[in-house]
Amino acid sequence: MKVDGQAASDEVAPPGTVVGAPRRWLLLEGLTLLVGSIVAFSTTHQSWWLALSLLLAPDFFAAGYMLGTRLGAHLYNVAHATPLPALLVGVGWWQGHPLVLALGTIWLGHIGMDRMLTFGLKYPDNFQHTHLSGAQKQQEPHHKA
């Protein structure tokens, strides 16, 4: 059975979660960002060990969750949105600093990899609640006997 053009099921996306074709476009966008970052990094002539050693560095911002979900989500999102690494890339290119450019491309690559793997920006209610969270089973209401 279809409801509003979609198959009915017992799975529902959490509020704020992108679903359907827009979700697939965002995952493709993540893959594109990752591949573009690898290509851009290769032009900096920096060692590949640098990229491998720093690829997961933005995830250290998840440590903010030790201070609460609201602060944790905010810090995580700052490290997993494109403005700051894009600024690094721009400054590195403009000022002719290949290391700064490389750091920005590694950071963008991390973001692209996360998006491609459906790790999205966080909501402040729960570490697992992101804009790309998968569908979750709808829970049956509990009845008291």
Run of H or E including 11: strand 11-12
Total domains, the chain:
1
Read off the pTM.
0.83
Whole-number pLDDT of residue 12? 73
Provide the domain limits for residue 81: 18-130
CA distance 78 to 59: 11
The pLDDT of residue 5:
47
Rounding to the nearest 10 degrees, give the CA dihedral for residues 111, 116, 117, 122. 50
Is 111 contained in some domain?
A: yes
pLDDT digits (tens, 9 = 90+) for 50-89: 999 999 999 999 999 999 999 999 999 999 999 999 999 9
Q: 33 in a domain, yes or no?
A: yes
Is residue 112 a part of any domain in this protein?
yes
Task: Give pLDDT tens digits for 9-25.
Answer: 446 777 888 899 999 99
For 118, 122, 125, the CA distances from 74, given in Å and listed in that order, are: 18, 8, 11
Residue 43 confidence (pLDDT) above 50: yes
How remote is the C-alpha of 44 from its chain's centroid? Answer: 24
The pLDDT value recorded for residue 137 is: 44
